[in-house]
Structure 1
Amino acid sequence: MSYTWMRQYSPEHIAVLVTGIVACGILVVAARRVRGAPWLTVARQVTGWVLMVLAGAWLVFTLWPGNLHVTEALPFHLCDWLRYILAYGLITGDERALAITYYWGILLNPQAIITPYLPYVHHPAWVQFAGYWFFHMVALIVPIVMVAGFGWRPTWRDFRFVAAVSPGWMAVAGLANRITGGNYGFFAHKPPTPSIIDIFHRVGWKRTYWILEVILIAIVWTGVMTWPLTARSTGPR
C-alpha cells in the first residue's frame, strides 16, 4: 500500500527544525541556571510521567482500529522504544535508561529529524505530524539538556551497556520485518525518501548498509560521545 508523506525541507519541516533548535537553546540555558536546585528531582519525575502518559496515548492512537498498519505503525522503530526508555529514565533516574537516551537520542534519532520519512498512515494526519515531531524532538533535546545543561556525563560502563543491549532492538526489529513485511529500523531496505543510507548505497553497500552503519555508530559513540566526556568529566552525574 502506498501513502503520501511529508516532503523533506518543506516549510513545515523547516519550521519544526527551527523551533527545536530554539527550544533546545532555551532549555540548556535554563538548566544551567537552576542546576542543583532542590526541586529538580520532582520536576524531572513529573516530566517523565507526562511523557509516559503521552507515549501511552500515542500507542493507543497508532494501534486504534482504522489506524493500525502492521508494515508501518507497530512499535518497532528505535524511537518507539526510546520514548518509553526516556520517560522511565526521567521518572526513576535510572542511569542505564539515561545512557540509552543519550546514545540513541543524540546519534540515531536525528536521522528521523534531518531526513524524515513520515508516511501519513493515520488519521487525522495533523495528529500524526504532531506526534512524530514531538517525540523525535524530545528524544533529542532531553539528552542534550542532560549533558550541556545539567552536566550529566556518560561512563565507559554506560557505553558497554548500551552497546550490549542495542543488538537486542535490532534483532526484534528484524524479526518484525520478517513477520510483517515491514521495514522497521530500515533494516529491510532504504526508505523511499532521501537519507544517509543513500550514501552507503552509492559506495556499494546496497544490501548490507546496516553493517557499515553499525561500524560508524560504534566509532562515533566511542570517539565522540564517550571518550572526550569521560576524559574531562568533572560535572555531576
Structure 2
Amino acid sequence: MNEPFVLFSTSHLLALLLLVVASLLLYVFRHSLRHRPLGRSIVRYTLAGLLATSEAVLDIWNIIEGAWSPKYTLPLELCSLTLLLSIIMLLTKNRLLYGILFFAGIGGAFQALITPNLGYAFPHIRFYQFFTAHILIILASLYMTWIENYKPTWRSIGITMIFLNLAALLVGITDHYLGANYMFLMHKPSTASILDFLGPYPVYLLAEEGIALLIFIIMQILFFVLPGKIFRAGKSRSHSAI
C-alpha cells in the first residue's frame, strides 16, 4: 500500500531544498555559462530533454497503471501547460513565451511545490516525477533569465494574465464536456492547497486572479526593478568616488 504524501515532511523539505540548491548553482555559474556557447546549449537542451522525459514518464506510468483517462490525465493543468511551453521556449528561445512563463511558470510551479496536489509519498515514482517536473519548470525560466539574459517587461504581466484567462476559458470548456476538474476550475483539490484560504467556489477563482497579478508584480520588482536600482546606485557611487 502506498504511503500518502505528507505536507512539509522531511522528503518534501528536501525536495524544496533541491530547488534552492539547483537555482543557486544556476545563478553562481551564470557568467561562466554566458561566455560558453557549448555549455549554454548543453544546459538548455538538457533542461528541455528532462522536461520532456518527466512528462513521458507520467504518461507511461498512467498507462501501465491503467489510470490514463481524458478526464484526469490530459496535460491541461497549468503546470502541464507551462511544462510543454517551457520545452518550446528552451528549443526556440521565444521571447513571448519567456515573458509568459517567467510569471505563470515560476509562479504556478512554486505554488505547486509548496502545497503539492500529490497522493504519493517518497520514494514512489510519482513523487520523483512531480517534484522533478515542477523544479525543472522553474529552472527553465531562470536559465533564460540568468544565462540567456532575457528580461520580462511590465507588459509581459498583462500578456500573462490574458494567457491565463484564455487558457482557463478553453480548459473550462473541456472540463464541462468531460466532467473533469483541470486547473481546479470546477472545485478545489482534495488535498491541502492555498485555495483553501480563498473562499468557496467560484469566489476562489476570482481571488486567484488578484493573487496572481500581485505575485507577478512582486516578482518583477524583486527580480528586476530593485536589482536595477541597486546596480545603478552602486555605479553612481563608483563614478562619484573617481
**1:113 Cα deviation from its structure 2 partner:** 0.3
What is the aligned partner in structure 2 of residue 224 from structure 1? 218
What is the aligned partner in structure 2 of residue 15 from structure 1? 14
Runs of 4+ aligned residues of structure 1 deviating over 6 Å after TM superposition are none
1:130 matches 2:128: yes
1:27 matches 2:20: no
The runs of 5 or more residues in structure 1 that have no matched partner are none
**1:62 Cα deviation from its structure 2 partner:** 5.1
The number of residues matched between the two structures is 224
Alpha-carbon RMSD: 2.8
Query: In 2 relative to 1, CA 12–230 (structure 1 residues): closer, same or farther, beyond 3 Å?
Result: closer
1:213 matches 2:208: yes
Say which structure is richer in helix: 2
Q: How does 1:48-127 map to 2 (within 5 A)?
A: 49-51=48-50, 53-55=52-54, 57-58=56-57, 60-61=59-60, 64=63, 66-120=66-120, 126-127=124-125
> Quick one: distance in 2 between partners of 1:89 and 1:158?
15
**1:150 Cα deviation from its structure 2 partner:** 4.9
Structure 2-normalised TM-score? Answer: 0.79
The runs of 5 or more residues in structure 2 that have no matched partner are 232-242
Structure 1-normalised TM-score? Answer: 0.80
Query: In 2 relative to 1, CA 180–100 (structure 1 residues): closer, same or farther, beyond 3 Å?
Result: same
Query: In 2 relative to 1, CA 61–20 (structure 1 residues): closer, same or farther, beyond 3 Å?
Result: same
Deviations 1:40-87 (A, max 9, x none): 553355235413541552354155261314443221101111111111
- Percent of residue pairs identical: 23
**1:98 Cα deviation from its structure 2 partner:** 1.4
